[in-house]
Amino acid sequence: MTVRLSDQAARDRIAGALDETLFVEAGAGSGKTKSLVDRVVALVGAGIQMRAIATITFTERAAAELRNRIRRAFEEKVADSSLDAGARGRFEVALEQVDAAAVSTLHAFAQRILSEHPLEAALPPDIDVLDEVASQIEFEDRWSRFRDALLDDPTLQRTLLLAFAADIRLDDLRHLARVFDSNWDLVGEPQRLPWAPIDPPRVDVEGFAARVDALLERRSECRDPDDLLCAILTDIAGYLQRLRQAPDEFEALHLLRTAKPTFKSSRGKKANWQDKDSVLTELRSVGADRTALATDVAVACLRRIAVEVARFTSESAAQRRASGRLEFHDLLVGARELLRGPHGVAVRQRLHARYQRLLLDEFQDTDPIQIDLAVLIASEDPEAAGKSWDQIPVEGGRLFFVGDPKQSIYRFRRADIDLYLRARQVFGDPVALTTNFRTTPPVITWVNAVFSRLIQHADGSQPAYQALAAAPQRTAPPGGCAVSVLGLQPHTNEPRADDLRDREADDVGDAVLAASGWQVSERDSDDSADDSDSGDVGGSADGGDSGHGVGSGGGGGERWRDARLGDIAILLPARTSLAALERALDDRDIPYRAETSSLVYSTREVRDLMAVARALADSTDQLALVTALRSPAFGCGDDDLFDYKVAHGGSWDFTKPAPDGQDSSLVVVAGMRYLKALHHELPWLSPSELLGRIARDRRLFELGYAEGRPHDLWRRLRFVIDQARAWSESEGGTLREYLDWARMQASESARVAETVLPETDDDAVRILTVHGAKGLEFPITILSGMTTASVGRRTRVEVAFPPTGPVALKVGSGLTTPEFENFKPIDEQMDYHERLRLLYVACTRAKDHLIVSLHRKQRKKPPTEAHRDTSAELIAAACDDLERLAAPTAVTGRTPAPATPVGVPAPPPLERWEAERTVRLAASARRRSLGASDVALLTHGQALDAETVAGGEKDARDLELPPWQKGRYGTAIGRAVHAVLQTIDLVTGAGTHEAAAAQAAAEGIMDREPDIARLAGAALAAPSIVESHGCRRWRETYVATTVGDRTLEGYIDLLYRTNEGLVVVDYKTASSTRDLERRLAAYRAQGGAYAVAVEQATGERVCRVVFVFLTPDGAVELDLDDLEVAKAAVRAAVATPV
């Protein structure tokens, strides 16, 4: 029996109302990706080509998954015999176009726009987009040069000295520059920094000193010289003397900014004073004068420096644009400036014609620039550039929004909930998807009850709560609590924060033991048809989509099985409780893995590795040295260190000789000698090589066995070493610079990265931040780490950009600009509202069971403002039946299996192990993946070492050689011609000149545009191209297959099907028709490799391999003769070890 969903009308409207601009609010687990795919399929079915649909989502992982789902949906339509030939034909064309279609992140879409219009965007033809690691490195390089120039500028000398006296540090200025750099478009807006570049006012203490003198005279009104208030005034008298004796205004400002002596007190006995209250009032007033005097000067310094930092930011953005080395944010701003710039009308017209539909996924979390780009492309208004996005008319159906305001948790990355709410108002009433396919009914009921109280509508910062409904096929778990709570009652003995975390961690560890005996659900194949990751143990991506088929008539159900450790995920709002949690899990022998990259850098293993690296980077850093020696890398106990230092007078400097009388076998001396030897090799080691060397030499990988969780430790160390390699490859610098960068990755303010992939064969509890868990689901979810008051993402430096007016700045604990003070209440409210949404996201990751830790103190004076409550206090207050939600207990007595199985055989003798290792290393060095061009080297008996392969591949250096030095056209022209033939109409040649112009610009050979167009045009007359017009064909097709133990892969320029079989066509550019037969012989192995790969991948026969040589005199087509012999030679060469 088909069960109609409560929101089925909304789902039907998504797939049917194609000419309406819809704003879909998709609740957690409601199948938004399935609905998005349904919309795309319906559009294609209605006659809109896939290449005319742009689908923008939040992450590359989500974009890849969405593309795969769309492809599968098209394949199903092509195979659907109930559709007429015309409909199936439309889906066949869409299937060909899906790989090249704009299904991407917002940044990738912006890059596509800029790459297609480099001249209009005033960009170089060759754009290099820096990844996050490279961007951080380039910023540090720019900052280093700017900092030196700043300190050398004589006009800023006084300002900087005053700023340093006011406790503004150089690192604070670096942080300010980093924030400005990430928001350089906002920094450049009018009135953001309206302050004139003038010197700060003089530090005039005379007026303040006179007021203090008057205050001190009131000591005569005190009848008891030992009165506490009188003692405070005496302290102030000494302070005033130091202030008057200050050698310069810098020291005076420093004294004004110090916390002591206090000017706020209620001490003293009233009976000892004529009028104590008036003295206290005057004392506070004088203190306010001191604060105002110091703040006026410090704020003036901060503003003056901010102007310089803003100039540096703008110049850096301009330099990046001129060089074509763009960061992610540059792509967005550049695309918007292109659409609103002097060439905007023409560019918008082209994009409007090309992208007939724009579908925006995860709209609640993306940069506000997205709405600007989407509306500008969707509108036909030629005056759109001069209007705000909400004033630009858009034709119905051109835009389609999907998002959930309750899951907007990326404010620190410019996500703007106010913009979401305004966009929803502009584009009509939302279409609501409320059926949750992910979660069991009891959990849904609890989530609705709690968050309907916590998430209350507030204009501009919080949506109204929209309740979820459990899907009809979801049932309560047969074993284990659906919802349970840890820490039912608040702690009344006022534990310290660390003690509270330890107690919570112990409860979480016990809960894991209990939950490992529960039952969790598995979906039938019908249900998982739309879930690409449903097979992932313990978690899947966007898994809520998987149940959509049931409500639409599918017949799937669910089964229950015993839980595994990998089904359990512990989610943390922040990293502060990670250490306590690791200890608790270790104490219970529970294997676990931290899966978010920021968590990895906070783990003990990585901290130990970094400590060794820091000791090597700075031989004078005694703390780093002792930390490294005490780590498992060296295993020195405190008794060893004490004996080395005290009994033998050792030095904490590994560059010095060991003390006399110390045996070199002693652990401390051996560790110091190892560090000294490795320190001598530092100039020849990159950071990744150094970390790998330390990990191998000190047996850090083997420590995983000792700790009972080798997979997790291996994954962490490999991840950090791989990131160090990426850092080095992105023009990294010294070891110290790398360690500074690595330290940032472990900070709370580090940009949240996507989840680190786990070991697929490791069954362990998963630990993630809530941000890292976004888009995932877990059978058993434990929400922990909410014991202490939330301080948001507070750092010494805070920068806010109010909707209008100057930028708001804060440095340290006591220096804020007036703009920051005015914006602070709004900022705190928005942080609080986002914290509630973060809790909602965490709780809705649960599929079957939810465990919430509410460990909290019993406060004597609870805060009067909700945003000062801990998250645990907020949930406890919103939960009616807290007493009913008892802590979980083991239902079967089952405990996790030990990480190391009993009865593991003893390791082999070292000699045998090393011999076997040598054999395996030699085998692993053999290349397992071969390109079609590599096969030509193998057939001639050449080894594929690094030098040979590098010589055989096309390299960027080839572009420097003119065509006449190569005997044929250069690589740049060849790439450009290939790119043109990938996109133009092969029947009519429409678009040839436009594509040739774009590709010539992209390759930096704009003077060769006519040559590119002529060569591409010549290809259209080739017999094989003409023959393909009436056949099913594919362009730029990737093919891969296995031959023996190797993978054979390549890209085929054109592949089409005839009655005799498949035909492979490969384009080659040539400067003349001379020696084509000789060149054909050189390409024989490549052609044979294409034929082998296609036949084995498709199961169809390749009847011809054709090389089309494109010359200035036209196209010359040559077939590969003796194709069967060529294929046999390829198979033999690939299978033969060399």
> Hey, what are 57's tokens?
């989502």
- Residue-wise pLDDT for 525-568, tens only, equals 433 333 333 333 344 444 444 444 433 333 346 889 999 998 99
What was the pLDDT predicted at 900? 44
List b or e across 68-102, with b for residues whose CB sees 16 or more CB atoms inside 10 angstroms.
ebbbebbeebbeeeeeeeebbebbbebbbbbeebb
- Is pLDDT at 358 greater than 70 in this prediction? yes
**Strand 765-769 vs strand 592-594: parallel, antiparallel, or unpaired?**
parallel
Whole-angstrom Cα distance, residue 925 to residue 905? 28
Q: What is the largest CA-CA distance in the chain?
A: 118
Q: Is the pLDDT of residue 145 over 70?
A: yes
* 376, 348 Cβ separation under 8 angstroms: yes
Torsion, Cα 807 810 814 815, to 10 degrees, reads -50
Give the pLDDT confidence score for residue 1138 in this predicted structure.
Answer: 47
Three-class secondary structure of residue 241 per DSSP: helix
The tokens describing 1079, both together, are 């060149």
Q: Which residue has the tokens 């924030």?
A: 179
Task: Judge whether 501 and 577 are in contact, CB under 8 Å.
Answer: yes
CA 472 from centre of chain: 35
Q: How far is CA 679 from CA 619, 698, 720, 842, in A?
A: 9, 15, 21, 45
pLDDT for residue 30 is more than 60: yes
| Beta bridge partners of residue 782, listed in sequence order | 570, 851
Structure tokens at 1043: 């031959």
Q: At residue 1, does pLDDT exceed 80? A: no
> What pLDDT digit, counting tens, does each position of 1013-1068 carry?
999 999 999 999 999 998 999 998 889 888 877 888 888 999 999 999 999 999 99
What are the beta bridge partners of residue 1106?
Answer: 1065, 1119
Q: Look at residue 946 and tell me whether its pLDDT is greater than 70.
A: no
Owner of token pair 């778990």: 477
Tracing tokens 């209008």 back to the chain, one arrives at 804
Q: What is the pLDDT of residue 902?
A: 45
For 1089, residues 6+ apart whose C-beta sits below 8 A from its C-beta are 930, 932, 935, 1048, 1050, 1130, 1134
User: Which H or E run includes 811?
Assistant: strand 808-811
Q: How far is CA 1086 from CA 949, 1016, 1052, 1075, 1094, in A?
A: 15, 22, 11, 18, 12
Which tokens sit at 1075? 């020696």
Q: What pLDDT was estimated at residue 450? A: 93
Per-residue confidence (pLDDT) for residue 752, from 0 to 100 = 40
8 Å CB contact between 1016 and 992: yes
pLDDT above 60 for 135: yes
Residue 94 confidence (pLDDT) above 80: yes
Cα of 267 vs its chain's centroid, Å: 53
Phi-psi sector, 11: left (phi>0), alpha (psi -120 to 50), beta: alpha
Sequence-separated (6 or more) residues with CB below 8 Å from residue 564:
516, 537, 538, 763
Q: How far is it, in rounded angstroms, from Cα 619 to Cα 675? A: 9
Rounded Cα distance between 503 and 1059, Å, is 73
H or E element in which residue 779 lies? strand 776-783
**Reported confidence tier of residue 954, pLDDT bands at 50, 70, 90:** very low
> What pLDDT is recorded for position 538?
43
Range in 396-410, 434-448, 913-927 the model is least confident about: 913-927
**Residues in the chain, total:** 1138
**Distance separating alpha carbons of residues 406 and 709, to the nearest angstrom:** 37
Residue range 495-505: mean pLDDT, rounded: 91
**SS3 of residue 1129 by DSSP:** helix
Contact 586, 707 (CB under 8 A): yes
Tokens 């998982």: give the residue.
528
Give the residue with greater pLDDT, 184 vs 918.
184
Is the predicted pLDDT of residue 57 greater than 70, yes or no? yes
Contact 566, 682 (CB under 8 A): no
CA distance linking residue 58 with residue 363, whole number of Å:
8
Average pLDDT, the chain: 85
Report the percent of the chain where pLDDT is more than 70.
Answer: 87
